[in-house]
């Protein structure tokens, strides 16, 4: 609607974001993708990007490709890759990819290493181990069944702040955020109005001022409020 901007702030890659939104005809003004490591415009053109240091993605993947219950992916600007599926099923969250070997990783620059970990205890252990081993080099974010390994300092909140301080600098903007997982907490902290979803973990619900049933419900509420101003 006129006077409003839609920014998609997601842990997905730009490739996966396009795969989900384009068939639905969803247009947006800006994207904060790869958990804040990359900013894109509404045409999926990269405005800024941060990468994992050379060799780090392969080192992480080498530690996870043989673990039972772990599906190991690796993401570049252009493509989502899978290195190992030890869950014997593909998640709908990251369902389109190309196959890649550890040896082939040396010819790519990676932004992230998404890990689908179906066991809660193993997910917690990996989160701790990866964060500790590569402290200051990478961040490991929890997102439901996934762990998203990204460059240090990359968060949804940092990406949103970079958008506000960069392409949108100088504009008076009232920021609404909606998100349902732990990796949304940094994003919610930047917002003027933070909104959780009904199935959000308690920590996320507590950090938000209110809850909406869906994105569509929130947008309708905001637009109706604009009409009454």
What pLDDT, on the 0 to 100 scale, is given for residue 213?
96
> Where is 159: in which H helix or E strand?
helix 156-165
Do β-strands 146-151 and 113-117 pair in parallel, antiparallel, or remain unpaired?
A: antiparallel
Gap between the Cα atoms of 226 and 229, Å rounded: 5
Residue-wise pLDDT for 22-59, tens only, equals 999 999 999 999 999 999 999 999 999 999 999 999 99
Q: What are the structural domains, with CATH classification, of the chain?
A: 56-151 (3.30.1240.10)
Residue-wise pLDDT for 127-173, tens only, equals 999 999 999 999 999 988 999 999 999 999 999 999 999 999 999 99
- Provide mean pLDDT across the span 73-102: 87
Burial bucket for residue 34 (CB in 10 Å: 0-12, 13-18, 19+):
buried
């Amino acid at each position: 609607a006129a006077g409003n901007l839609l920014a998609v702030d997601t842990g997905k890659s730009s490739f996966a974001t396009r795969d989900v939104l384009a068939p639905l005809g969803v247009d947006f003004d800006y994207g904060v993708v790869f958990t804040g490591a990359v900013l894109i415009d509404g045409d999926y053109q990269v405005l800024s990007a941060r990468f994992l240091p050379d060799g780090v993605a392969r080192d992480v993947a080498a530690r996870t490709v043989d673990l039972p219950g772990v599906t190991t992916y690796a993401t570049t600007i252009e493509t989502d890759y899978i290195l190992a599926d030890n869950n014997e099923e593909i998640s709908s969250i990251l369902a389109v990819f190309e196959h890649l070997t550890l040896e082939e990783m040396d010819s790519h620059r990676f932004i992230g290493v998404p890990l689908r970990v179906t066991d809660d205890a193993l997910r917690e252990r990996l989160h701790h181990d990866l964060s500790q081993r590569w402290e200051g080099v990478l961040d490991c974010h929890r997102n439901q069944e996934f762990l998203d390994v990204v460059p240090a300092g990359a968060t949804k909140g940092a990406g949103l702040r970079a958008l506000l301080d960069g392409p949108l600098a100088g504009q008076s903007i009232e920021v609404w955020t909606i998100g349902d997982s732990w990796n949304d907490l940094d994003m919610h902290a930047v917002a003027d109005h933070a909104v959780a979803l009904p199935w959000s973990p308690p920590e996320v619900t507590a950090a938000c001022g209110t809850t909406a049933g869906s994105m569509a419900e929130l947008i309708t509420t905001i637009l109706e409020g604009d009409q009454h101003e």
